[in-house]
Structures are given as C-alpha cells and as structure tokens.
C-alpha cells in the first residue's frame, strides 16, 4: 500500500513524523518534512496548505498552521491564517513548537510601545484611535490585531488586518497581547 503525504497528498517516499510536543504522527514527503524542519520558503508546493489547514485530523491541521505561520511573510499565507480555525487546544499545540521563519524579534528589532519584542503571528492591541488613510475608517483603541506580520527592514512597522483590510501600523501605537 502506498503512503500519501498528509499535507500535500503526494505518494511515494513518505515517512512518519511526530507533531511535537505530542506523540501523534503524520506522514510527510521529503519536501513537507524539510518545511517542518525549518527549510521553508514560498513555492508553488505550499499551495497544498489551502486544503491541509481544513483537515479533520488535528495533527495535520496543527502542522499546516505551523507551515503557514513560517510562511507568514507571504500575503497568501497570512490571508489563509486569518481565516483558519483551530480549537483552543489545537492552537496551543501549534504554538508550542513553531517552525523558525527567519523573522525573529532579535533580527528585526520590532518592539511594541513598551519595548516588548514582537514576532510574526503575535496579537497586538491598538493603544489609540488611528485614522486609516485611504480606507475611510478609524481603527479604534482597544482593537485586537491578530497574526501580525513584520515589515522587513522597517522595525517601526507591522502589518495586520483591521475591519477586513490589511493595513500597516506603527509599532509605537500597539502593545503586545498576552
């Protein structure tokens, strides 16, 4: 019997991998295994995550979330993370062992208004009302912005979705949540 990769569905050279920190295993092809180990960059192969994130198998959904999180700098991955739904225990499991994305707070220097380091995927709270230029609305103080992404080479800027629109936010106007 041929084993299929639980993430992309390819057949052949698939091997089991435990989805840390739990012992539940999924079958991964060589490409998906490399991604799970941190060797990931945007490529057509990862469009398979559009299906994997909706899997009914929690371990597959958790790994898909981690891969999307590691690709967080890509707009399509951010958009998919924004609409993906994980139960609370699945989200905790997914966040327990994130895949390194190269977007670390030490490397970028992104910090909130209180100096707390920010990382891709964090949730922040707006600390003042912000007029969103060109969008015709005001982002209200206290609004939670989930799954932020860091603007490369601009430590004072992050991106996030507010009122259904992706906007750039200055880090001086946010505080890290949690």
> Which residues contact residue 113 at a Cβ distance below 8 angstroms, ignoring those fewer than 6 apart?
127, 171, 172, 173, 174, 175
**Quick one: average pLDDT of 7-33?**
92
List the domains of the chain with CATH numbers.
Answer: 15-96 (no CATH), 105-176 (2.30.30.40)
Tokens found for residue 93: 């499991």
Q: Nearest CA to 152 among 80, 100, 103?
A: 103
Q: pLDDT tens, 99-129?
A: 765 444 444 478 888 878 898 899 999 999 9
- As a whole number of angstroms, the distance between CA 60 and CA 73 comes to 22
User: Which pTM does this prediction carry?
Assistant: 0.59
Tens of pLDDT, residue by residue over 60-76, are: 999 999 999 888 678 88
DSSP of 140-161: PTT-EE-S-EEPTT-TTEEEEE
């Amino acid at each position: 019997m041929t084993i299929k990769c639980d993430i992309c569905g390819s057949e052949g050279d698939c091997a089991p991998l435990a989805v840390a920190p739990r012992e539940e295993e999924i079958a991964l092809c060589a490409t998906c295994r490399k991604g799970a180990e941190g060797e990931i960059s945007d490529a057509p192969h990862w469009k398979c995550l559009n299906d994997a994130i909706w899997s009914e198998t929690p371990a597959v959904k958790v790994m898909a979330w981690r891969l999307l999180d590691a690709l967080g700098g890509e707009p399509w991955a951010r958009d998919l993370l924004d609409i993906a739904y994980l139960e609370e225990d699945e989200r905790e499991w997914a966040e327990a062992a994130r895949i390194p994305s190269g977007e670390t707070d030490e490397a970028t220097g992104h910090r909130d208004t209180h100096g707390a380091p920010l990382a891709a995927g964090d949730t922040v709270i707006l600390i003042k009302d912000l007029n969103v230029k060109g969008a015709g609305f005001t982002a209200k103080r206290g609004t939670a912005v989930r799954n932020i992404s860091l603007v490369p080479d601009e430590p004072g800027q992050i991106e996030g979705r507010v009122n259904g629109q992706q906007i750039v936010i200055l880090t001086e106007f946010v505080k890290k949540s949690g």
